[in-house]
Structure formats: structure tokens, C-alpha cells
């Protein structure tokens, strides 16, 4: 294919911190074998060859703005992106989160697919007015039906076909290959080889509601195997409060705060149960990573977690420590055969709904994508 017939897609990302580098990879990989070349541009963050390598993109550019630089009107970012767009014949743009959507619409004349990873992105009246102003060029994706429905609620006059769902996903083989065997993972985390271990991964923040998890674990402990532990991987401003709560409940020695663990998904096979107690999680990538590890799931019945866990794990009402405790007790009684059956069902769910291949097929069937590709 020569330069004049090549088709190009612009992917515009806010940054590559936390899970957002893999988001860039996920969306670039949608175009593998499609005839489109993907240019990924990061609004913030220093140029980094390892980040560029991890994007699965044909070209990676770094604007290198700081968070402070992109407050207000973002004129510098708009000017830079305008130059990038003028030098390449892009067919359309995929922009992650509101600031990149804003910059892409003002800097280019391209159709923009805005990908939203959180709730509340269009609750502000100014953002709703902005979206309405550019409604002919803008369509939206939520990373779960829960996020999609939140977008539709904020923009009730938009046609439903302009706001769709495209799930987050994982490279199942790559994730599984990266995950350490059970005993090796436990040794690396300093956890005993034979204990029954409930795992949790996330910031120690009110949104993650580890307080309910600790209370539920305390309620369940008498009916769990002797020597059971709760291992929490993450750090945050609530660490001291959560440690004090565990001590008040008399389980300070049974709750292990392991701090921030780089590439935490590598250690998920250390757990007998993975518990997510978050308050309205938009999606929950850690759930997919736990599923890949074959670890039974217990999660809050709200947000995107329902779509991931329902039918393959246990859901409990938000903030309900007693129901959480019941879930832990049930999972602790699973036989090895039942655990293997659970792992098979979770792997099936991953392949059917949350794999790169499944989501790639779904992407090319989206109405906003079929419209754009027909035009190009």
C-alpha cells in the first residue's frame, strides 16, 4: 500500500499512567490487519521508548505537557495537535477521556470517537453544551454498559446509536504468561504457602471501600479455614484508618497491607479468592486479570463489575459486610473440582466478551465505526 492510499487513525490519550498505557494498546490493536495505520499521541508524560513499544501503534508521539500546562483553554495542546493532524491524512480520531476529546475537536475537523472510562464526564453543564455543539462530529463509547448509561443520562437528547459500549479487554495469553505460579507468587509477597488468602488490589481510597471488605472478612473469619489472611495490595490516604479498623476488630494480624506492588496482576495466583468492594467501579480491569489467573471472584453488585462477574462469580450489595462475609464463606468451601469449573467458566467469559479478539469484532460492528469506515 503506497502513501497515497494508506488510511490513518489518530489515537489521542491523556497520559500513560496506571492502566492507560494498556488502554492505548487495546485500541491500537483494534486496527491490526485492517489497513489502517495508527498514530498514538500522548498529551502528558515524558517521551519514553518503553511506552512507545507497549502501544502496539505504528507511530507514537509525546506532547510532554504537564498537568498544569493543560488547565484552562489548552491552547498549546490545540496548536500542537493541529500541526500533527495537518501533516497526516487521518480518517478519524479516537480520544480517551474528556480533555483529549475537547482538544481533538477544537484542533481538527476529524470525526471523534470519545472513549470514557469513568462516571460523570458530562455532568457539568459546560461539557454538555460543548458536546452538543460538536454533536455532528462526536460519538461516544463507555467502557461498560454502566458508563454508557451514565453518558446517555447526561445527554438524553442524543440518539442512542451515538453512545455505545466497548468493553475493556486483555490479551489473555500475555496476562496468563506473566502470572507467577501460586507458591512462587506467595513467596514473592511474603505470604504463607498453605493459608487461605483473600486478595484485594486497589488504592486505599473511599471509592474502593476496603473498610467493608475488612469488616466482611472479620465477620467471616470464624467460618474460614484456620490461619486465613486478607492481603491488600495498594497504598493511599486511608492506610492508617484501615489498619486501625482491622485492629479494632481484633484482626490486625490477619490483614496484611502489602503496599504498592508493581505489576500486581503477576501475583494474582497467590489468592484463593479475589474480592473487589469498590463503590460503583466503572469497569474493573483487576477482575479480568483475576479471572485470567483462575481465582474465584467476589465483587460489589454495582457499576461495571456486574457485567464482568454476574454468572461466573458472586455479587454482594454495596457496603453490605454481612453478605460479603457469606460470599467468602461460600467460596472457602469450594472443592477443587468446583474451583476448576469456576476457572473454566471465567476463561470462557473472557474469550467471549473481554478478549482482544471479541472486542475487535464488536468494534467493527459499532454503528459509528461502520459509518466512518464507509466514508473513508
pTM of the model: 0.92
Four-residue CA torsion sign, 96, 11, 261, 267: positive
Closest CA to 287 of 201, 367, 376: 201
**The domain defined by 7-169+355-375 carries CATH number 3.10.105.10:** no
Predicted pLDDT of residue 366: 95
Helix axes 285-292, 336-349, angle to 10 degrees: 130
Q: Where are the alpha helices (DSSP H) in the chain?
A: 20-29, 49-53, 75-86, 98-107, 125-133, 145-154, 172-178, 182-189, 210-220, 239-248, 285-292, 305-309, 321-332, 336-349, 356-365, 367-375
Element (H, E) at 146: helix 145-154
Residue 360: all three cell numbers together: 475487535
User: Nearest to residue 198, comparing CAs of 178, 172, 218, 177?
Assistant: 218
User: What is the domain partition of the chain in residue ranges?
Assistant: 7-169+355-375, 172-354
Backbone angles phi, psi at 48, to 5 degrees: -145, 115
CA distance 300 to 216: 12
Predicted pLDDT of residue 1: 37
Distance in angstroms (rounded) separating the CA atoms of residues 22 and 36: 19
Rounded Cα distance between 153 and 147, Å, is 10
Quote the cell numbers at residue 172: 489473555
Reading the chain (376 residues) residue by residue, the pLDDT tens digits are: 344 467 999 999 999 987 888 899 999 999 999 999 999 999 999 999 999 999 999 999 999 999 888 887 788 999 999 999 999 999 999 999 999 999 999 999 999 999 999 999 999 999 999 999 999 999 999 999 999 999 999 999 999 899 999 999 999 999 999 999 999 999 999 999 999 999 999 999 999 999 999 999 999 999 999 999 999 999 999 999 999 999 999 999 999 999 999 999 999 999 999 999 998 889 989 999 999 999 999 999 999 999 999 999 999 999 999 999 999 999 999 999 999 999 999 999 999 999 999 999 999 999 989 988 876 6
185 by DSSP, 3-state: which?
helix
Tell me how far apart the alpha carbons of residues 172 and 156 are, in angstroms, rounded to a whole number.
36
Residue 359, phi then psi, degrees to nearest 5: -75, -30
d(CA 13, CA 94): 8
CA–CA distances in Å: residue 241 to residues 75, 199, 237, 247, 265: 42, 19, 8, 10, 25
Answer whether 7-169+355-375 and 172-354 agree in fold: yes
Phi-psi region of 316 (alpha: psi -120 to 50; beta: other; left: phi over 0): beta
Report the distance separating Cα 265 and Cα 28, nearest Å: 22
Q: How many CB atoms lie within 10 A of CB 227?
A: 11
Q: Can you say whether the dihedral through the CA atoms of 347, 187, 276, 327 is positive or negative?
A: positive
Using an 8 Å Cβ cutoff, are 294 and 206 in contact?
A: no
The class of domain 172-354 in CATH terms is alpha beta
Q: What is the pLDDT of residue 5?
A: 65
Q: Are 224 and 196 in contact (CB under 8 A)?
A: yes
DSSP type of residue 208: G
Name residues whose C-beta falls within 8 Å of residue 68's C-beta, 6 or more positions apart in sequence: none
Output the pLDDT for position 376: 61
DSSP state of 234: B
Amino acid at each position: 500500500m503506497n502513501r497515497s492510499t494508506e488510511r490513518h487513525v489518530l489515537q489521542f490519550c491523556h497520559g500513560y499512567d496506571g492502566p492507560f498505557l494498556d488502554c492505548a494498546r487495546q485500541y491500537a490493536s483494534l486496527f491490526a490487519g485492517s489497513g489502517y495505520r495508527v498514530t498514538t499521541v500522548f498529551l502528558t508524560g515524558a517521551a519514553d521508548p518503553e511506552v512507545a513499544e507497549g502501544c502496539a501503534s505504528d507511530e507514537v508521539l509525546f506532547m510532554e505537557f504537564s498537568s498544569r500546562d493543560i488547565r484552562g483553554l489548552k491552547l498549546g495542546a490545540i496548536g500542537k495537535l493541529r500541526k500533527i493532524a495537518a501533516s497526516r491524512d487521518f480518517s478519524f480520531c479516537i480520544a480517551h477521556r474528556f480533555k483529549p476529546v475537547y482538544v481533538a475537536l477544537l484542533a481538527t475537523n476529524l470525526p471523534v470517537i470519545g472513549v470514557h472510562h469513568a462516571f460523570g464526564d458530562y455532568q457539568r453543564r459546560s461539557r454538555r453544551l460543548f458536546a452538543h455543539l460538536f454533536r455532528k462530529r462526536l460519538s461516544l463509547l463507555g467502557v461498560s454498559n454502566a458508563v454508557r448509561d451514565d453518558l446517555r443520562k447526561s445527554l438524553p437528547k442524543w440518539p442512542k446509536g451515538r453512545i455505545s459500549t466497548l468493553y475493556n479487554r486483555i490479551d489473555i495469553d500475555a496476562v496468563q504468561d506473566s502470572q507467577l505460579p501460586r507458591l512462587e507468587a506467595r513467596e514473592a509477597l511474603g505470604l504463607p504457602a498453605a493459608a487461605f488468602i483473600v486478595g484485594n488490589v486497589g488504592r486505599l481510597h473511599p471509592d474502593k471501600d476496603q473498610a467493608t471488605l475488612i469488616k466482611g472478612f472479620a465477620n467471616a473469619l470464624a467460618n474460614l479455614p484456620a490461619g486465613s489472611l486478607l492481603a491488600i495490595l495498594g497504598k493511599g490516604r486511608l492506610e492508617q484508618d484501615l489498619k486501625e479498623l482491622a485492629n479494632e476488630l481484633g484482626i490486625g494480624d490477619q490483614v496484611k497491607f502489602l503496599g504498592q506492588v508493581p505489576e500486581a496482576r503477576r501475583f494474582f495466583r497467590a489468592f484463593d479468592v479475589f474480592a473487589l468492594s469498590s463503590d460503583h467501579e466503572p469497569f474493573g480491569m483487576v477482575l479480568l486479570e483475576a479471572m485470567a489467573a483462575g481465582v474465584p471472584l467476589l465483587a460489589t453488585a454495582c457499576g461495571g463489575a456486574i457485567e464482568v462477574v454476574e454468572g461466573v462469580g458472586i455479587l454482594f450489595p454495596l457496603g453490605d459486610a454481612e453478605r460479603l462475609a457469606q460470599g467468602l464463606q461460600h467460596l472457602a468451601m469450594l472443592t477443587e473440582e468446583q474451583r476448576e469449573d469456576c476457572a473454566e467458566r471465567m476463561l470462557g467469559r473472557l474469550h467471549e466478551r473481554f478478549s482482544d479478539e471479541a472486542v475487535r469484532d464488536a468494534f467493527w460492528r459499532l454503528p459509528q465505526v461502520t459509518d466512518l469506515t464507509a466514508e473513508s
